[in-house]
């Protein structure tokens, strides 16, 4: 068995077959059915090989988050798999731990993993990111006849980018990103327009596990005017032929929550669907979040705060108080997850003003 490494060019066909076996598609159908490239990208994958054939794989993609003026480097893991004949031997754990170390060394502060398996939780990746959830069926929503909806096309990327860039919590993207991300078969971008003017967009994703032809999608990302999103879903239903949209949006979006609350729509609390997140570098994360912190805390309070990470233990300190958490609890505390610990006293009062930090939906940055 090899050590974790990059795949070699001559191994890409075998790697494509590994992904096909693990994710249930034929190699020659990979692009059509799953929105994948026709073959893996060697620079993004890490593998463990046995007798020269890949048996375990993780794809690594680096991104940046913009959080209300602060810029944070993130790593994303996707395509995590091990051939059925080699499971139960700790191979995936070995590969995952090596990739975690690599991304931390590369300066990433947060790790976003596509999936919620025990493998990730044992590595301190948690279900986080508070969201509101609701299920909307065609015909249950009131529409605005002045709004129309259509699938986004290549000429729409500059407009789509301007709507996206206006979001205070978002992924940082280059112009080329949108055309690549929207080419996948399981995600559709819908533009909502008022006359000829785009006012909002939605990224609707297929839900894994449902039949391929199911007319149900989940909202994975959005941007633009919240009132147009609420009133424009009727047009999206009409144009898309969908019967149900599972609406999910971050709880820090108070405007969208207010608009749906005014309509009497029942909302339930949850966390970001289908993903887990792990802290990679707490002190580095808090340094990068300095603009975010400075807008929330008086200078004296901010100066007295310090953050440290000692192996798998995170330390939060003020001038007169200190508390310790393991990485799992710290992720839930900082990023907003169930079972997040309570911090008492003056330190807890200060930390409650800054945590949990707002997070975007993975949406088009789904790995």
Per-residue pLDDT of the chain (367 residues; tens, 9 = 90+): 889 999 999 999 999 999 999 988 665 544 444 444 445 665 699 999 999 999 999 999 999 999 999 999 999 999 999 999 999 999 999 999 999 999 999 999 999 999 999 999 999 999 999 999 999 999 877 889 999 999 998 889 899 999 999 999 999 998 888 767 655 557 889 999 999 899 999 999 988 778 877 899 999 999 999 999 999 999 999 999 999 999 999 999 999 999 999 999 999 999 999 999 999 999 999 999 999 999 999 999 999 999 999 999 999 999 889 999 999 999 999 999 999 999 999 999 999 999 999 999 999 998 8
pLDDT at 29: 46
pLDDT at 30: 43
Same domain, 120 and 16: yes
Domain annotation covers residue 365: no
pLDDT at 27: 59
Same domain, 221 and 302: no
CATH of the domain at 167: 3.40.630.30
Same domain, 292 and 256: no
pLDDT at 33: 42
Same domain, 160 and 252: yes
Same domain, 172 and 243: yes
In order of 36, 75, 114, 128, the CA distances from 111 in angstroms are: 21, 5, 10, 12
pLDDT at 209: 78
pLDDT at 31: 43
Say if CB 94 and CB 196 are below 8 A apart. Answer: no
Number of other residues whose CB lies within 10 A of the CB of residue 342: 8
In the chain, the number of structural domains is 3
Segment (H or E) for 244: strand 244-250
Could you say which of 271, 301, 325 is where a domain stops? 271
Could you say which of 97, 127, 157 is where a domain stops? 127
Could you say which of 245, 271, 297 is where a domain stops? 271
CA angle 62, 80, 65 (to 5 degrees): 25
In order of 67, 73, 79, 199, 226, the CA distances from 136 in angstroms are: 29, 34, 30, 21, 16
Same domain, 192 and 204: yes
Domain annotation covers residue 357: no
pTM (2 decimals)? 0.92
Tell me the helix, strand and coil percentages in the chain, rounded to 5: 35, 30, 35
- Which parts of the chain fold into alpha helices (H)? 12-23, 30-34, 91-105, 118-121, 157-165, 175-181, 226-240, 254-262, 282-288, 290-294, 299-304, 327-335, 345-351
Domain annotation covers residue 1: no
Give the integer Cα–Cα distance in Å for 309 and 297.
Answer: 22
Domain annotation covers residue 363: no
pLDDT at 208: 77
Same domain, 145 and 251: yes
- Which range marks the domain in which residue 334 is found? 281-351
Which residues lie closer than 8 Å to 89 by C-beta, 6 or more apart?
none
Q: Which residues pair with 48 in a beta bridge?
A: 56
Same domain, 163 and 234: yes
Same domain, 101 and 78: yes
């Amino acid at each position: 068995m090899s050590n974790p490494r990059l795949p070699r060019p001559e191994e890409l066909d075998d790697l494509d077959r590994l992904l096909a076996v693990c994710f249930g598609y034929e190699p020659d159908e990979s692009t059509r059915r799953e929105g994948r490239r026709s073959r893996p990208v060697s620079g993004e994958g890490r593998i463990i090989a046995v007798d020269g054939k890949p048996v375990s794989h993780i794809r690594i993609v680096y991104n940046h988050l913009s959080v209300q003026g602060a810029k944070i480097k993130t790593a994303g893991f996707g395509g995590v798999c091990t051939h059925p004949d080699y499971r139960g031997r700790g191979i995936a754990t070995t590969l995952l731990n090596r990739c975690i170390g690599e991304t931390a060394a590369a300066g990433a502060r947060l790790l976003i993993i596509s999936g919620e398996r025990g493998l990730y939780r044992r590595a301190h990746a948690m279900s986080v990111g508070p969201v509101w959830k609701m299920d909307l069926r065609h015909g249950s929503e009131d529409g605005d006849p002045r709004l129309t909806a259509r699938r986004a096309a290549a000429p729409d990327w500059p407009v789509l980018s301007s709507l996206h860039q206006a979001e205070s919590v978002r992924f940082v993207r280059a112009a080329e990103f949108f055309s690549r991300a929207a080419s996948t078969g399981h995600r559709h971008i819908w533009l909502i327009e008022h006359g000829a003017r785009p006012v909002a967009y939605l990224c609707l994703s297929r839900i894994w596990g449902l039949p391929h032809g199911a007319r149900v999608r989940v909202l994975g990302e959005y941007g633009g005017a919240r009132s147009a999103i609420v009133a424009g879903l009727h047009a999206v239903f009409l144009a898309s032929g969908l019967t149900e949209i599972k609406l999910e949006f971050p709880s820090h979006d108070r405007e969208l929550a207010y608009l749906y609350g005014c309509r009497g729509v029942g909302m339930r609390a949850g966390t970001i669907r289908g993903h887990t997140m792990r802290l990679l570098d707490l002190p580095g994360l808090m340094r990068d979040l300095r603009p975010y912190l400075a807008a929330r805390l008086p200078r004296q309070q901010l100066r007295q705060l310090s953050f440290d990470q000692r192996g798998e233990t995170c330390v939060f300190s003020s001038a007169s108080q200190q508390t310790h958490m393991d990485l799992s609890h710290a992720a839930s505390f900082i990023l907003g997850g169930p079972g997040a610990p309570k911090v008492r006293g003056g330190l807890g009062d200060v930390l409650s003003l800054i945590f949990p930090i707002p997070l975007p939906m993975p949406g088009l940055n789904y790995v």
